[in-house]
Each structure stands twice: as C-alpha cells, then as structure tokens.
Amino acid sequence: MTEKEDLAMKNQRNFGLEFKRQVVEELLSGESGPAQLCRRYNIGSSLLYHWKKQYSLGKFNHEPDNEAALKDRVEKLERLVGKLTLENEFLKKGLWASHSQSDGNGKSSRNGNASSAASSGGVP
C-alpha cells in the first residue's frame, strides 16, 4: 500500500448500524430534511440515500420498512407513467402529422383511381 492510500484509509469513517438507523429514521419521520441531516452529520447526500435504501431492505437489523419500499415503488411507477405519457404524446403528434400528409396525398390518389377506372372502361 502506498502512503497516499494509507492516509485515505485513515480518513475514511465507519458508521455503526445504530447511527445509520437513527439518521434514516429521522429522515423518514420528516423531523429533518435531507440537506439538514447531511450538514448536521457531515455526510454526503448519496450516502444518506444509500442508507435509506438499505434501511428499506431491512439491512439495519430490523424488519424491512414496507412503507418505505412502497414509496420507492410509487416513485418508480410515477416516473414510468411520465415517460410513457411523453412517448404517447410524441407518437400521437407523429401519427397526426402522418395522417394530415396522407390526406393531401389521398385526394390525388382517389382522383387517380377514378381516372384509372374510367380508362379501363368502368363507370366513374
């Protein structure tokens, strides 16, 4: 190990399960916001959300939090609904544009069909 890696290992903090559980439960209770907790405990937001996910999976020696798991599921489904709504609107606009272009082409093709029917001896 190099001296630089050795210093990095010394500066790395280890948090206990009880501390992690306390911080996440404070977040879930709404008592403090994520930014407040990060400042208060000098932790990064990504670490806080990582702990929240672990908490919802029951990794902090407690039963999995069904409410947190359901909230995560709802958030994912809401994002999916938004994405599908945007795709649906995009496809509707494309279909509408395609349909309006074919109306212009359709008129000339109907005339073409009538003239081809007349030229083949049919009644227009």
**C-alpha span between 54 and 65 (Å, rounded):** 10
**How much is the mean pLDDT over the chain?**
79
Residue with tokens 């672990």: 54
Query: Average pLDDT in the 96-123 region?
Result: 60
DSSP string computed for 42-84: T--HHHHHHHHHHHHTTTTTS---HHHHHHHHHHHHHHHHHHH
Domain boundaries, the chain: 3-94
Q: What is the pLDDT of residues 55-109, one digit of tens each?
A: 888 787 766 667 767 787 888 899 999 999 999 999 999 999 998 888 766 554 4
> What pLDDT, on a 0 to 100 scale, did the predictor assign at position 8?
56
Nearest-CA neighbor of 69 among 58, 80, 60?
58
Confidence band of 1 (pLDDT split at 50, 70, 90): low
> What pLDDT, on a 0 to 100 scale, did the predictor assign at position 2?
64
> What pLDDT, on a 0 to 100 scale, did the predictor assign at position 120?
47
* Residues 34 and 45: beta-carbon distance below 8 Å: yes
Please state the pTM of the whole predicted model: 0.44
> What pLDDT, on a 0 to 100 scale, did the predictor assign at position 5?
60
